[in-house]
Structure 1
Amino acid sequence: MTVLQGASAQAVTQAAQCLADGGLVALPTETVYGLGARADDDAAVAAIFAAKGRPADHPLIVHVLDAAHAAPFAAAWPESAQRLTAAFWPGPLTVIVPRTPGLAQAAAGGQSTVGLRCPAHPVAQALLAEAARLGVRGVAAPSANRFGRVSPTSAAHVAQEFGDALLILDGGDCEVGIESAIVDCSSEQPTLLRPGQLSRHAIEAVLGQSLQAPGLHAPKASGTLEAHYAPRAKVRLMSAAELQTAFTLVQPLSATGGPVAAVYSRTVFPAADSSAQWPHRRMPDNASDCAHELFAVLRALDDTQAPLLWIERPPDSPEWEGVRDRLQRAAAA
């Protein structure tokens, strides 16, 4: 494993050269860390699927420096995509548009559409700019973790996933903490395929129309399987009242670990006595702050070896939609 500091121009150049040569690079974005390969090289992209254990028909998102660099991948650029990218790029939004035939076939999972995103992280921007200078038109990059598991939000998380087999560009902890919102712009009615930190209301305000729910013919998109984002522990979502009751019925855990770990915000946590404690973490009441911490907390509690993870269900309000989505998919695993 080689960990390079993303603040170093030399490190960025080395990582960009690795991409240009058809290699894999773990790169930071503002959402989560991605496992990247040049999107115009199907053999390089195949190495992503192999490393993650990801089905080859489950598409990846292509990361680009800006809208001009996105253009070669798009057979058409619908007005909805124009509006959204003008408002939210660079940022945590992926648009799905018709794909240019013969380009990014493997990254798109064989579909006639492609997901495109311009990340806001300064290290990602520097890497994409240097890679473009070397002839790399875009970087296909799903989250840098084994398929279906908890996404990484630090370079250390990526190293835990892949050990010595990867070049990692360290850009610090990810600011957003959950993956981008994905909007399908390839049909007449824009459709929200995956919520993120960017709210449904903000997207609809720019579009001037309501987002549709995914239908039977919606394209496949990253992170939209029913079971995803899952720790090794079995996740059980509970209301605050259910969690409070459970705390009173189940004995605290031994100091060396036990059957239950807990994530909560509104619940009153039981006091630990001198000989026992629960592995637990209190989460912020603010949705953005909770999203920032979510995957790191799931990973930390997974490290306690607890096979069962109780999580207080987030509020049923618009700003929590992205967090709810990730937890519901984790619980379905």
Structure 2
Amino acid sequence: MRLFNCRKIKDRATGIKSAARAVTGGRLVVIPTDTVYGIGCDAFNHAAVKALLAAKGRGRDMAPPVLVGSKRALDGIASDVPDSAKELIEAFWPGPLTVVVPYTPTLTWDLGDTDGTVAVRMPLHPLAIELLKETGPMAVSSANKTGQPPAETATDAKAQLGSDVSVYLEAGPSEDNLPSTIVDCVAHPPQLLREGALTLEQIRKIVPDTLDRDGYGPGQRPEDQEQDENAEAPEAADDAPAEESSA
């Protein structure tokens, strides 16, 4: 178990090489992203993914997302990417957006119970991108025990995950302690699964018919309809004009 201070140029290069070797060797690493720190491994190594879930205290029903180092890398793992996902990716990648899309059926990975889908993100962090270009797609989840606060530094993650992780890459506090926003683009229309660093309003500026977490489209929530009805109701006149008396 080693922690590298990647704010130092020498440690950065050594840390990335050590992390890449660890991932290739089926071990776990902790890396910075543009949101919170993540615990990751080779997405195609079944034993490593199982170890990742165990380190977090999760079961197969909570499959980890996959991080990629470029938009083009998505083509190698996803098939029939919906137009909504393409539009959101064009607007927000690299960045704090995770899209759920169908994965290519011929892939030999086992991320858990995913029902043929995968949650994918391209992070906006240079260190993460450098590592991903060395390793290829990585299964990455937030670097904390399930139910505990997300790690904002590698040191925070180390306090929770300890020797379960082989290499920790420290790059200072996270720029944003909110997780990524997740949108299910397999659904028709797409649906927000988690609102994080990107708001539903920002998502709807790109894909207007996106449903919220409760399954409501724009203006469909009961409180929205009540507001519309109140806005359309005519206001009663305070003073009705007096009728003229007949002669």
TM-score by length of 2: 0.80
Deviations, residues 175-223 of structure 1 (Å, cap 9, x unaligned): 111110000101220100000121211111112x13213479xxxxxxx
Contact 2:179/2:196 (8 A) holds in 1: yes
- Looking at structure 1, the residues matched to 214 and 156 of structure 2 have their Cα atoms a distance apart, in angstroms, of 34
**How far 1:108 moved relative to its partner?**
4.7
- The residue aligned with 1:180 is 180
Q: 2:40 aligned with 1:40, yes or no? A: no
1:6/1:76 CA distance change after superposition, 3 Å: farther
Contact 1:145/1:162 (8 A) holds in 2: yes
- Looking at structure 2, the residues matched to 108 and 174 of structure 1 have their Cα atoms a distance apart, in angstroms, of 28
Deviations, residues 27-51 of structure 1 (Å, cap 9, x unaligned): 1111111110111122211110111
- The residue aligned with 1:151 is 150
- The residue aligned with 1:256 is none
Contact 2:60/2:112 (8 A) holds in 1: no
- Looking at structure 2, the residues matched to 199 and 37 of structure 1 have their Cα atoms a distance apart, in angstroms, of 29
What SS does the corresponding residue of 2:142 show, helix, strand or coil? coil
Q: 2:4 aligned with 1:4, yes or no? A: yes
1:214/1:108 CA distance change after superposition, 3 Å: farther
| Counterpart AA for 2:70 | D
**How far 1:102 moved relative to its partner?**
4.4
What SS does the corresponding residue of 1:51 show, helix, strand or coil? helix
| Counterpart AA for 1:2 | R
Decide which of 25, 32, 42 is 1:28's aligned counterpart.
32
What SS does the corresponding residue of 2:198 show, helix, strand or coil? coil
- The residue aligned with 1:196 is 196
User: How many residue pairs end up in the alignment?
Assistant: 210
Contact 1:108/1:114 (8 A) holds in 2: no
The structure with more radius of gyration: 2
Structure 1 alignment gaps of length 5 or more: 132-136, 217-333
What SS does the corresponding residue of 1:4 show, helix, strand or coil? strand
1:66-215 residue pairs with structure 2 within 5 A? 66-103=70-107, 105-131=109-135, 137-166=136-165, 167-207=167-207, 209-214=208-213
**How far 1:155 moved relative to its partner?**
1.2
- Looking at structure 2, the residues matched to 104 and 206 of structure 1 have their Cα atoms a distance apart, in angstroms, of 33
**How far 1:165 moved relative to its partner?**
3.6
**How far 1:164 moved relative to its partner?**
3.4
- The residue aligned with 1:51 is 55
What SS does the corresponding residue of 1:114 show, helix, strand or coil? strand
- Looking at structure 1, the residues matched to 212 and 65 of structure 2 have their Cα atoms a distance apart, in angstroms, of 20
Contact 1:60/1:109 (8 A) holds in 2: no
- Looking at structure 2, the residues matched to 171 and 138 of structure 1 have their Cα atoms a distance apart, in angstroms, of 21
1:245-284 residue pairs with structure 2 within 5 A? none
Decide which of 36, 60, 84 is 2:64's aligned counterpart.
60
- Looking at structure 2, the residues matched to 106 and 16 of structure 1 have their Cα atoms a distance apart, in angstroms, of 20
- The residue aligned with 1:19 is 23
| Counterpart AA for 1:38 | D
- Looking at structure 1, the residues matched to 22 and 102 of structure 2 have their Cα atoms a distance apart, in angstroms, of 29
- The residue aligned with 2:230 is none
Over the aligned positions, Cα root-mean-square deviation in angstroms equals 1.7
Contact 1:56/1:106 (8 A) holds in 2: no
- Looking at structure 1, the residues matched to 210 and 197 of structure 2 have their Cα atoms a distance apart, in angstroms, of 16
Contact 2:43/2:111 (8 A) holds in 1: yes
Contact 1:105/1:111 (8 A) holds in 2: no
Higher relative contact order (CA 8 A, sep 6+): 2
- The residue aligned with 1:229 is none
1:301-312 residue pairs with structure 2 within 5 A? none
- Looking at structure 1, the residues matched to 108 and 131 of structure 2 have their Cα atoms a distance apart, in angstroms, of 19
- Looking at structure 2, the residues matched to 147 and 200 of structure 1 have their Cα atoms a distance apart, in angstroms, of 25
What SS does the corresponding residue of 1:203 show, helix, strand or coil? helix
What SS does the corresponding residue of 1:142 show, helix, strand or coil? strand
Deviations, residues 204-262 of structure 1 (Å, cap 9, x unaligned): 1112x13213479xxxxxxxxxxxxxxxxxxxxxxxxxxxxxxxxxxxxxxxxxxxxxx
- Looking at structure 2, the residues matched to 179 and 90 of structure 1 have their Cα atoms a distance apart, in angstroms, of 14
TM-score by length of 1: 0.60
Contact 2:55/2:164 (8 A) holds in 1: no
Structure 2 alignment gaps of length 5 or more: 216-247
1:87/1:101 CA distance change after superposition, 3 Å: same
